[in-house]
Amino acid sequence: MQVPAPIAYERATSLSNAIELLSRHGPESRIIAGGHSLLPMMKLRLARPEVVIDINDLAELDYIRANSDHLQIGAMVRHASLMNSDIANRYFPIFREAETVIADPIVRNRGTVGGSLCQADPAEDLAAVFAALKASVVITGNNGSRTVPISSFHIGPYMTVVEPDELLTEVIVPLRTHVGSAYEKVERRAGDWGIASVGAMIVLNSGQISEAGIGLAAVRADHFRAVEAESFLLGKQPTADVIAQAALIASENCQPVADQRGPEDYKRHLVKELTTRALNRAIDKAREEGT
Amino acid sequence: MQVSMTINGEQVSREIEARLLLVHFIRETAGLTGTHWGCDTSNCGTCVVLMDGVPVKSCTVLAAMANGRNITTVEGLETNGELDSVQRGFIEMHGLQCGFCTPGMMLTARWLLDNNPHPTDAEIREAISGQICRCTGYENIVRAIRWAAEHESGTGHNITEGIGA
Ligand SMILES: Cc1cc2nc3c(=O)[nH]c(=O)nc-3n(C[C@H](O)[C@H](O)[C@H](O)COP(=O)(O)OP(=O)(O)OC[C@H]3O[C@@H](n4cnc5c(N)ncnc54)[C@H](O)[C@@H]3O)c2cc1C
Ligand code: FES
Ligand code: FES
């Protein structure tokens, strides 16, 4: 039987109360959101917080809204809400495509956007999604809020720039026109973590690629991103040859490790194939929007 | 710490250790052993209960996190001795063999039909995709849920022709 080690439990009543509780209990306290990564780690003693601070009552962090420039997603938005959000998916269908292959429907009822990003598992699908979308993350603590680009949010496996007395409160995605986005993932069985996953976002301007985002999960890409392939695409016409070259570049610029999910060369092969598919579909959708 | 939650309409208040998992609170503290407990790793889904109407894997929720919430377990599916149409579907269509996965399957089915009264087979399969049955091959579980959808009498808790008991 797996049970967590003894803990104290606090339930935060508001964002400011959560920050106050984190400051009061110090570095041995941890936020618990959906708990679907933290509790399994606590059962295995991979995490041993002395105090867990439950933020599930913070309705103020559960919203998806758009203004004229940005989509804003609160940290407590569940996977299931993001998957079913008309507003988020109208701008970026990549959300629904990724969410349908993240875990299973019951886990998606609990796991949150903030928890996924803060967990920083190298296979975390939403990390690749937000990398492709070049999102920013709002982090809030005693000294107010700061906004960091997703490309400097993760500083290693299971590590982020969030300080012990801070919370991730919001993810911001800039809105674009003539944009298409898509997600591709190969897993061993339904509901499993990916062997490799690729998210793509393409903006077309007069038939040329004016912005490209490629996010990679499970293959140890720096900051979940294929920067070299993104740069290669800029200013080019999206021909089959250009896409094939970008996919090859993406597959060469990540560091997948052999594990029970497969050998390294197989994972690189998947990155190439999935990047091709995701780019093709993102480009098709960008064209549908008209240029 | 003191927790208090509603389980199947009854208030249950107990002094517990903060690390207690909801599945153990339901089974050992409240004594409702209809909820099963299997993998411990949020993979098998036999521990699924409804929390404020939404299915959750109770091995991956602290009992403290359920403080003040409304829990429905498999014992809460029947109303006044009348089985829910989901339960009747599992009987009619032979939706179980050993019965280990059944409580979680039935609660997820109840939630599905409450939100989507006429699901396709693909939607039924997707809904139960986070739950493992080692006996039936799933075919009869899908048939059982389809049967329930076809025999739902509006509210889902308003069954006219009782079966069993
Ligand atoms: C069976 C199973 C299968 C899964 N499959 C996949 C999959 O295929 N793909 C995938 O991407 N994920 C998968 N996941 C993980 C899941 O999607 C989420 O990543 C996970 O639930 C984390 O979200 P949470 O809200 O539960 O976080 P929690 O477990 O509550 O927290 C995770 C970490 O983040 C911290 N944290 C949480 N919220 C905040 C915040 N707002 N500010 C600061 N710190 C915070 C916590 O302190 C903790 O360290 C799976 C999980 C399970 C159980
Ligand atoms: S015991 Fe909870 S999912 Fe298996
Ligand atoms: S009936 Fe035996 S596990 Fe499903």
Neighbours of A259 (CB within 10 A): 11
Does residue A153 lie within any of the structural domains? Answer: yes
A46 shares its domain with A131: no
CA distance A254 to A222: 7
Cβ–Cβ under 8 Å, residues A113 and A85: no
Alpha helices in A47-99 (DSSP H): 79-84, 86-91, 94-99
Which of A174, A207, A229 is the last residue before a domain boundary? A174
Residues in chain B: 165
Structural domain range at position A69? 62-174
A226 shares its domain with A280: yes
A279 shares its domain with A184: yes
- Report the nearest atom of ligand 1 relative to the CA of A217: 11
A282 shares its domain with A186: yes
CA distance A100 to A108: 9
Q: How confident is the prediction along chain A (291 residues), in pLDDT tens digits per residue? A: 889 999 999 999 999 999 999 999 999 999 999 999 999 999 999 999 999 999 999 999 999 999 999 999 999 999 999 999 999 999 999 999 999 999 999 999 999 999 999 999 999 999 999 999 999 999 999 999 999 999 999 999 999 999 999 999 999 999 999 999 999 999 998 889 999 999 999 999 999 999 999 999 999 999 999 999 999 999 999 999 999 999 999 999 999 999 999 999 999 999 999 999 999 999 999 999 865
Q: What is the reported pLDDT for B162? A: 35
Minimal-distance CA residue to ligand 3 atom 4: B133
CA distance B24 to A100: 30
Does residue A31 lie within any of the structural domains? Answer: yes
Chain A residues in contact with B54 by the CB 8 A cut-off are 109
Name the superfamily (CATH) of residues B85-150.
[2Fe-2S]-binding domain (1.10.150.120)
> How high does pLDDT run on average in chain B?
93
Residues with CB under 6 A from ligand 3: B 96-102, 133-136
Three-state DSSP class for residue A15:
helix
A15 shares its domain with A99: no
Q: Which residue of B has its CA nearest to A104?
A: B130
CA distance A34 to A108: 9
Does residue A3 lie within any of the structural domains? Answer: no
Domain with CATH 1.10.150.120 in chain B: 85-150
What mean pLDDT do residues B6-23 have? 98
Q: Which two tokens stand for residue B152?
A: 């739902």
Q: Which two tokens stand for residue B55?
A: 């299915």
Minimal-distance CA residue to ligand 1 atom 28: A35
- Report the nearest atom of ligand 2 relative to the CA of B60: 2
Q: Which residue of A has its CA nearest to B21?
A: A3
List, for residues B87-101, the tens digit of each pLDDT value. 999 999 999 999 999
Helix A264-288 and helix A240-252, axial crossing angle in degrees, nearest 10:
140
Q: What is the reported pLDDT for B154? A: 53
Kindly tell me if the per-residue pLDDT of B67 is higher than 70.
yes
Interface of B with A in 67-86 (CB under 8 A): 67
A203 shares its domain with A264: yes
- ipTM greater than 0.90, yes or no? yes
A237 shares its domain with A269: yes
A213 shares its domain with A127: no
Whether A106 and chain B come into contact, CB under 8 Å, resolves to: yes
Sheet hosting strand B10-15, strand order edge to edge: B10-15, B2-7, B70-72, B48-51, B54-57
| CATH code (residue A21) | 3.30.43.10
Does residue A108 lie within any of the structural domains? Answer: yes
Domain count, chain A: 3
Q: What is the reported pLDDT for A190? A: 87
Does residue A1 lie within any of the structural domains? Answer: no
Domain with CATH 3.10.20.30 in chain B: 2-76
State whether the beta carbon of B100 lies less than 6 angstroms from ligand 2: no
Q: What is the reported pLDDT for B153? A: 72
Cβ–Cβ under 8 Å, residues A251 and A275: yes
A277: exposed, middle or buried (Cβ count in 10 Å: 0-12, 13-18, 19+): middle
Q: Which two tokens stand for residue B151?
A: 């025999």
The radius of gyration computed from the CA coordinates of chain B, to the nearest angstrom, equals 15
| CB-based contact B62 A191, cutoff 8 Å | no
CA distance B25 to B39: 17
- Nearest-5° Cα angle at A157, A121 to A200: 60
Instruction: Provide the pLDDT confidence category of residue B164 given band limits of 50, 70 and 90.
Output: very low
Provide the 8-state DSSP code for A132. Answer: H
Kindly tell me if the per-residue pLDDT of B160 is higher than 50.
no
Three-state DSSP class for residue B141:
helix
A79 shares its domain with A120: yes
Which ligand number lies closest to the CA of residue A38? 1
Strand B2-7, strand B70-72: pairing: parallel
Q: What is the reported pLDDT for A290? A: 66
Does residue A2 lie within any of the structural domains? Answer: no
Listed residue (B98, B119, B55) closest to A108, CA to CA: B55
A68 shares its domain with A146: yes
Residues with CB under 6 A from ligand 1: A 30-38, 75, 79, 102-103, 107, 110-112, 114-116, 118-119, 124-126, 162, 167-168, 193; B 42-43
Residues 6+ apart with CB under 8 A from A125: A98, A101, A102, A116, A183, A185, A194, A197, A217
Name the superfamily (CATH) of residues B2-76.
Beta-grasp domain (3.10.20.30)
Cβ–Cβ under 8 Å, residues A230 and A250: no
Nearest-by-Cβ selection for B19 from A4, A56, A105: A4
